[in-house]
Amino acid sequence: MKIVLLEGNALGKDIDLSVFGKLGEVTVYGQSNAEDTPEKVKDADIIIVNKVPMNEQTLKDAPNVKMIAITATGYNIIDKAYTDSRGIVVANVGGYSTDSVAQHTFALALYLIDQMDYYDKYVKSGEYIKSDIFCHIDKKIFELAGKTWGIIGLGAIGKKVAQIAEVFGCKIVYYSTSGKNNSSGYERVSLDGLLERSDIVSIHAPLNEQTENLMNIENFRKMKSGAILINVARGPIVNERDLVTALNEGMIAGAGLDVISAEPMKAGNPLMEVQDSTKLIVTPHIAWATGEARQRLTDEVYLNVEAFLQGKRRNVI
């Protein structure tokens, strides 16, 4: 079997990809795109991919492809009608990053809540050396205990965040974007109710017609002026221009983002207008990427391919 791994760099240079050599003849590319992929996969039996679209354009000259193994949970890169018409098996990986993303959710939230950027700069600027008092409390910080944490999308990651927030002493409310999720352990509310009540709002929902542009100027106006927004789900759920307006006009106190509308970020993205990290912190889609999570992902992809070669269906979509 000829196995082509198109985006090895996305798994990290510290992850050993040679293990796939046990399953066949492996070619690893660091990065690929829709234009160069047809040539790279023309002789492939199995393709391991993350972001490159898998459709007629990229696959039409690859007659031997029998399986596509996605190094992710989402499979919107797949033209399922086309792969089905070719009889190509597609498998994904779920659950590998739950702990990692939940952890990053709190890293973003606590950085803003405790005003880490301001206080770190205060000390390193030398101002603390000049101080005549042991503490400096110009920027207000607050406790999570007793606050309301609103979760948009109570899937596996949302539930993990809820569990951790409860340990901090938060009251949990959630909004089901599909309208189908009823968790007896937490209070389900409308989106308006969640935005109006929550001190922290974190997004863990999929991107679809119901969630795209969900957080727009109209909904920012419904939030508390001291509230924090965290998005570790999908970038287009938040209208970035409206978020900048909300931050600049004091509709909300701060936002932490790990995902943005186009990745990598494009020149001219309005988020670049907010250089104050006490209001906005943006990380480059790393919430999923702890070493442990990337190793779990790689292990699961290996098992998906191994199962396929054994005639079994594992994580097939």
Tokens of 43: 């002789």
- Report d(CA 55, CA 118) in Å as an integer: 47
Catalytic residue among 263, 273, 292, 313: 263
Residue type for position 113: I
Which residues are bridge partners to 18 per DSSP? Answer: none
Separation between Cα atoms, residue 284 and residue 227, nearest integer Å: 23
Catalytic residue among 86, 241, 285, 314: 285
DSSP codes, 239-252: -HHHHHHHHHTTSS
- Please confirm, yes or no, whether 263 is among the known catalytic residues: yes
Which stretches within the chain are classed as H helix?
A: 37-41, 56-59, 80-86, 98-113, 116-124, 127-130, 156-167, 191-197, 217-220, 240-248, 291-309
Residue 221 annotated as catalytic: no
Residue of 104, 197, 234, 296 with catalytic role: 234
Active site residue 204: no
- The single residue listed with the structure tokens 């901090």 is 168
Catalytic residue IDs: 234, 263, 285
